[in-house]
Homo-oligomer: A and B are copies of this chain.
C-alpha cells in the first residue's frame, strides 16, 4: 500500500528530454570532417570515434559535466591525429571544430513521449516532483523552460550539478529532510540515476534508452533488485509509483 504523498526525483536528459541524439549527430559530423582531413592516411571512423569518446569520458570523469568539455574533446582528438600524421594543427580548423561542438547546446528541445502527461498525473495526485540533472545550470534550466516542463518543478526543487553521485543525491534528501523510503528516482542512467539512488535506499525506476552513452553504464548488485523497477517508457511511471504495478523488473 503506497502512502498518499510520494517524493519523485526526475532526471532531465534522456529521461524527459532528448540529449544523446544531439551529441551523436554532432559526433557523426565530426567523424565525417575528420575523415576528409585524415582518411587518406588510413584512419577509420571507428578509430576517430573511439579516440574522441575516450577523451570526452576522461574529462567527464575528472571534471564532471561541463559545457566546454565536449567541444574541447573534438579539438584534442584533432590534435592527436595532426601529431600522428605530422600535420600542423590549424587554428582555423580548431575554431570550426569548437563551433561544431557547441552546437549541441543550441539543439531544439524534444520531449520524450508522455513526459508531460506523466508529470501531470503525478502532480495532480499530489505527489511532490524534483528535478535532478547533470550539467551546466544555464544550459539545463533553459532546456527546462523551453520544454514547457518548468511548471511541474518548483524553482526550489530544481538541482543542477556537474557530478550526479551518491553524495549529491544525499544532500538533496537532507535538504528536504526526505526519508529515502518515501523517495523515488526516475532516470535513464544506471550510473548517475539508478545506482546512487538504490545505494541510498530509494526506490528507482529505470527508463532504458536505445543507445545509451558509455558513461551511463553501471552494474547493479542483485541485492538492490527488489527496489528497482524497469519500465518501457515514461507512460508507465505513474502506475508504478501509484502502486498499480507491484513487481520490480
Contacts and interface: CB of A to CB of B under 8 A. Distances in A.
Given A58-B220, A219-B58, A219-B61, A210 B46 contact: yes
A50 B208 contact: yes
Contact of A208 (B49, B62, B83, B230): B49
Given A84-B249, A247-B84, A249-B80, A47 B220 contact: no
A232 B61 contact: no
A44 interface: yes
A153 interface: no
Given A210-B46, A249-B81, A230 B51 contact: yes
Given A49-B208, A58-B219, A217-B214, A42 B232 contact: yes
Nearest to A247: B84
A64 interface: no
A219 B231 CA distance: 29
A84 B244 CA distance: 11
Nearest to A62: B222
A233 interface: yes
Contacts of A212: 214
Interface string A41-71: 0111011011100100110011000000000
A247 B80 CA distance: 8
A230 B50 contact: yes
A80 to B, nearest CB: 6
A220 B58 CA distance: 6
Contacts of A91: none
A46 B190 CA distance: 15
Contact of A58 (B44, B51, B54, B221): B221
Contacts of A208: 46-47, 49-50
Interface of A: 42-44, 46-47, 49-51, 54, 57-58, 61-62, 80-81, 83-84, 190, 206, 208-210, 212, 214, 217, 219-222, 230-233, 236, 245, 247, 249
6 contacts: A43-B232, A46-B208, A47-B249, A51-B230, A58-B222, A62-B222
Q: Which 4 A-B pairs have the closest CB atoms?
A: A50-B208, A44-B232, A84-B247, A47-B232
